[in-house]
Amino acid sequence: MTLGPLDFGILWPALVAGLLVLVTHVPLGAQVLDRGIVFIDLAIAQIAALGVIAADAIGLPEHGLAVQAAAVGAALLGAALLTWTERRVARYQEALIGVLFVLAACAGILLLAHNPRGGEHLKDLLAGQILWVGPRQLLVLGAVTAVLALALALGWTRRLGAFGFYGAFAVAVTASVQLVGVYLVFTSLIVPALATLRWEGRKRLALAYGVGALGYAVGLALSALWDLPSGPTIVCVLAILALVLSLKPQRA
């Protein structure tokens, strides 16, 4: 079905992918702000992306199970390292997260240095290819999201302490970064949570989900209408919606 430049056959899978990402990233975003480690998602996402790049560098089939295992393994190693640093040098955890992000990003660039498609591959991992999400990818993301959402709702991650928190990030990010990219993963985590800081409880959660869902829907529509890259367009729309909501007077 099409309406002018809006091809709903392409847009609806992309929107579903975005909504699935929001299911886990919105509640995790609130925890990130509470802990004061805002860049954790960027670091874990970049480590997962490094796993994908490394798998590609040794010739593993693109989007295959081996690549997914490499991404999950890299992200979990990053989660384990951050768990260790939190226990021993918690005072400098935010700085160490930043260093880890830069190291993972630079390692990825070095691995792609002699790849003729390196620049394009790096761009795809950062900005994402949300418009090309397929049914199989949605099923995998949906299954991972259902398990993580249940674990978060039942408090299973809290029982594992710091590693439960970082491990949940590792799995959530790995499932989403190859579909929507590092930028959208970070924005989906931080922006809705940041926009709703003045609210609490279920109202805050509902508003955060609303901002996220509207941002994805409007961003995808605008990117199709104006022939713009979808990921960056959604990021900008989410930021604008969050700014509007944060400036809106709060009713008593």
- The string of pLDDT tens digits covering residues 138-187 is 888 888 889 888 888 877 777 777 778 788 878 888 888 878 888 898 89
Is the pLDDT at 1 greater than 50? The verdict is no
Q: Which residue has the tokens 């928190």?
A: 165
pLDDT of residue 151: 84
pLDDT tens for 27-79 read: 888 888 877 777 777 788 888 888 888 888 887 776 667 777 888 888 889 88
pLDDT of residue 3: 47
The model's confidence at residue 5, banded by pLDDT at 50, 70 and 90, is: low
Q: At what angle do helices 118-127 and 93-111 cross, to 10 degrees?
A: 150
With CA atoms as reference, report the closest residue to 161 among 214, 83, 222, 221. Answer: 83
The answer to whether 222 and 176 have CB atoms below 8 angstroms apart is no
The answer to whether 214 and 164 have CB atoms below 8 angstroms apart is no
Q: Which domains does the chain have, with CATH numbers?
A: 2-247 (1.10.3470.10)
| Cα separations in angstroms, 66 against 45, 51, 58, 125 | 18, 10, 11, 17
Chain length of the chain:
252
With CA atoms as reference, report the closest residue to 75 among 57, 55, 51. Answer: 51
Q: What are residue 2's phi and psi, to 5 degrees?
A: -130, 155
Chain-wide mean pLDDT for the chain? Answer: 84
Q: How many alpha carbons lie under 13 Å from residue 71 in its C-beta half-sphere?
A: 26
Q: Which residue has the tokens 């989906």?
A: 188
Dist. CA 227–CA 225, nearest whole Å: 6
Q: Which residue has the tokens 């022939």?
A: 227
With CA atoms as reference, report the closest residue to 207 among 26, 16, 24, 14. Answer: 26
With CA atoms as reference, report the closest residue to 186 among 46, 36, 12. Answer: 46
The answer to whether 135 and 13 have CB atoms below 8 angstroms apart is yes
Token pair in block for residue 69: 């295992």
Q: Dihedral of CA 65/68/74/80: which sign?
A: negative
